[in-house]
Amino acid sequence: MGYVAIKGGKAAIEGAAAATDMLRAGSEHAEPLVLDAIEGQLRLLVSRVVSEGGLYHPKLAALAIKQFQGDTLEAAFALRAYRSTKPRLLETPPQNTAHMRVIRRISSAFKDIPGGQMLGPTYDYALRLLDLGLVDENPEDFRAIARRFLADAPETELPDSFPKVLDALRAEGLLPPLKPVAGAPFDITRQPLIFPVPRAAALATMARAETGSLLAIAYSNMRGYGDVHPTIAELRVGYVPVMLPHPVTGEPMEAGEVLMTECEVVAMFEGDAEGKGCGGKPVFTLGYGACFGHNEVKAISMAILDRALQKGMKDGAANPSEDPEFVLLHVDGVDSMGFASHYKMPHYVTFQSDMDRLRTTQAKAGIDTVRQKDTA
Amino acid sequence: MNLPPDFPPRNRWGALLAQLPAGQVRPPAATLELELEVVDITLPQSGLGLMQLHDSALNDGFYLGEIPIARAHVRVKSADGQEGEGGAVLLDDRARLARAIAVLDAVLAARLPGWEAASTLVEQGMAAHEQLAQTRRALLARTHVDFSLLGQEEDE
């Protein structure tokens, strides 16, 4: 049974758009949101939208958040729609996250990591108590926050980037060797996911996945539907300089920088004392997560699922989080939101058909629906 | 005609100029265009780039997502016949800004008339970058975990 073309409702649809905008504006005394304020003060929301939209454009993400009144799914959808209108000019050479200008790096594997642990901006140690002082914040005090913070910063010589924790483990022979560089990675924006897919497709799909979806499936693994048991070797947040060839010299030049979150987890080791396993020597297994913006829960969830999917691809899926098809086809926010939302569209003909079939079935069963109603 | 020894290398000029507000970069470039002959080798463009990473766990390549790209490539010739090429690739979607930076890049690289203005802008971009770097260093310095204090403080 198909759909039917219908007419009418144009005025109502236009009215709905006006009604939505009216609620955005609120009363006559309200001030419009300024994009810079969204980008700065709602930075984690912007991070979520650039990540799930798959386009690193914080300014447009702020605009989408304003336009769709804080709906992250719609905002990510708008970024995806925007990107589909733009020509693709280039594919970057592989960028090196070791050059990340870090603003936060922690490890739950080691206390002393090369360069030290820096908590950076985090709520990890904050009490989840409402700060009523922000209800009516004094603009002068607000503007002084950054000045005071910088004035109180100790004078230290710190590098912009730091060595990776995994490098130390790898040097000890506790990790699998790095794979040789292969050809061009799988491009999920141009190629459909036809299973089995390479790990590159899984990483790209999860990098722009909806945070809650990734977290839910990763959480199933954490709670027992899986056995990754991760330890975070390193979680880092910072700005990766994007290096592209200079149009004249061809030498790599910095085109700008991208805020991203990266997580490497160490999981159960593979192999045994007899040398059965990874390359004849028991080594830890690894999971990797990365995404645009500052999204720690997403990066951790992705790293856990990466490890779970590697296991599923190798040994077969023992639970949903190890099944590439289950995970990768259900974590995209724009896909899943679109499917859920389409149920709001008219299904008049299909539902009419459902009713007809039910009435026919009831008639065949000898049920007199009218008499039944009268008796009731 | 020489730049100071600590002047940044050419591969950083674009990023440093992009640190400045566009309103600070475009007018000097426009002034140079009035005095010099500027020809587009490729038309200024804006669009997207696909950002590739190698995962640091196993070294598999993958695409993290897309980034805005603006780029320009120009040839600039002075009245006395000197000429040079300039280019810019920016994480930005303003092709006109990329072209302005490409003009400054050409003028500065070939020391064409007006290169001093371009070098001043690069220095201002460097100052802006340093301010940003200082803020980021403060984020690290104020949150550096000193584990040696654990157990040594009475209140811990």
pLDDT in tens, A57-95: 999 999 999 999 999 999 999 999 999 999 999 999 999
Of B15, B109, B144, which is closest to A256 when you measure between CB atoms? B15
Q: Check residue A276 and give its pLDDT.
A: 56
Query: To the nearest whole angstrom, how far is the Cα of B132 from the nearest Cα of chain A?
Result: 11
Q: What are the residues facing B65 on neighbouring strands?
A: B51
pLDDT tier at A9 (50, 70, 90 boundaries)? confident
Kindly state the average pLDDT of the residues A29-58: 97
What token pair was written down for A137? 């914040």
The shares of helix, strand and coil residues in chain B, as percent rounded to the nearest 5, are: 45, 30, 30
Distances (CA, A) of A37 to A40, A41, A133: 5, 5, 19
* pLDDT tens per residue, range B61-101: 999 999 999 999 999 999 999 999 999 999 999 999 999 99
CB contact under 8 Å between A91 and B50, yes or no, is yes
Evaluate whether B127 touches B91 at the Cβ level (below 8 Å): no
Q: Which residues of A touch B132 (CB under 8 A)?
A: none
**Closest chain A residue to B147 measured between Cα atoms?**
A111
Query: To the nearest whole angstrom, how far is the Cα of A343 from the nearest Cα of chain B?
Result: 29
Q: Check residue A223 and give its pLDDT.
A: 97
Query: To the nearest whole angstrom, how far is the Cα of A277 from the nearest Cα of chain B?
Result: 16
- DSSP code of residue A118: B
pLDDT tier at A368 (50, 70, 90 boundaries)? low
- From the CA atom positions of chain B, what is the Rg in Å? 21
Q: Which of B10, B137, B146, B149 to mutate to test the interface with A (most CBs of A within 10 A)?
A: B137
Of B56, B63, B133, which is closest to A187 when you measure between CB atoms? B63
CB contact under 8 Å between B48 and A104, yes or no, is no
List chain A domain ranges.
10-83, 97-337, 349-376
Of B46, B60, B141, which is closest to A153 when you measure between CB atoms? B141
Rounded to an integer, what distance in angstroms lies between the CA atom of residue A183 and that of residue A239? 26
Of A93, A150, A241, which is closest to B135 when you measure between CB atoms? A150
Kindly state the average pLDDT of the residues A308-319: 96
Q: Check residue B156 and give its pLDDT.
A: 43
CB contact under 8 Å between B61 and A244, yes or no, is no
Number of CB pairs, chain A paired with chain B, less than 8 A apart: 250
Residues 290-349 of A with CB under 8 A from B: 290-292, 306
CB contact under 8 Å between A101 and B136, yes or no, is yes
In degrees, rounded to 5, the angle at the alpha carbon of residue A293 between the alpha carbons of residues A292 and A297 is 95
Of B15, B61, B133, which is closest to A181 when you measure between CB atoms? B61
**Closest chain B residue to A288 measured between Cα atoms?**
B57
Q: Check residue A155 and give its pLDDT.
A: 82
pLDDT tier at A369 (50, 70, 90 boundaries)? low
**What are the two backbone dihedrals, phi and then psi, of residue B88, each rounded to the nearest 5 degrees?**
-150, 140
- Reduced to 3 states, what is the DSSP secondary structure of residue A238? strand
Digit-by-digit pLDDT tens for chain B (156 residues) are: 688 989 999 999 999 999 999 999 999 999 999 999 999 999 999 999 999 999 999 999 999 999 999 999 999 999 999 999 999 999 999 999 999 999 999 999 999 999 999 999 999 999 999 999 999 999 999 999 988 655 565 544
Q: Is the pLDDT of residue A370 over 80?
A: no
Task: Assess A38–B contact: CB distance below 8 Å, yes or no.
Answer: no
Of A156, A178, A182, which is closest to B141 when you measure between CB atoms? A156
CB contact under 8 Å between B48 and A166, yes or no, is no
* pLDDT tens per residue, range A176-221: 989 888 889 999 999 999 999 999 999 999 999 999 999 999 999 9
Who wins on pLDDT, A367 or A134? A134
Task: Assess A80–B contact: CB distance below 8 Å, yes or no.
Answer: no
Rounded to an integer, what distance in angstroms lies between the CA atom of residue A226 and that of residue A221? 4
Kindly state the average pLDDT of the residues A10-30: 93
Rounded to an integer, what distance in angstroms lies between the CA atom of residue B72 and that of residue B86? 8
**Closest chain B residue to A248 measured between Cα atoms?**
B87
Distances (CA, A) of B21 to A10, A328, A348, B16, B153: 43, 41, 54, 11, 48
Q: Is the pLDDT of residue A371 over 90?
A: no
Of B42, B64, B90, which is closest to A290 when you measure between CB atoms? B64
The shares of helix, strand and coil residues in chain A, as percent rounded to the nearest 5, are: 45, 15, 40
> Could you tell me which residues come within 8 angstroms of residue A15 by beta carbon, excluding any fewer than 6 positions away?
none
> Could you tell me which residues come within 8 angstroms of residue B127 by beta carbon, excluding any fewer than 6 positions away?
none
ipTM above 0.90, yes or no: yes
For B15-64, give the DSSP string: HHHHTS-HHHHHHHHHHHHHHSEEEEEEEEEEEEEEEEEE-TTT--EEEE
Q: How many CB atoms are closer than 10 A to CB A254?
A: 21
Provide the edge-to-edge strand list for the sheet that holds B37-54. Answer: A88-91, B37-54, B61-77, B83-90
> Could you tell me which residues come within 8 angstroms of residue A334 by beta carbon, excluding any fewer than 6 positions away?
A52, A73, A76, A77, A80
Task: Assess A249–B contact: CB distance below 8 Å, yes or no.
Answer: yes
- Tell me the angle at which helices B95-109 and B10-18 cross, rounded to the nearest 10 degrees: 140
Q: Which residues of B touch A90 (CB under 8 A)?
A: 49-50, 69
CB contact under 8 Å between A95 and B48, yes or no, is no
Q: pLDDT over 70 for what percent of chain A?
A: 94
Residues 170-189 of A with CB under 8 A from B: 176, 178-182, 184-189
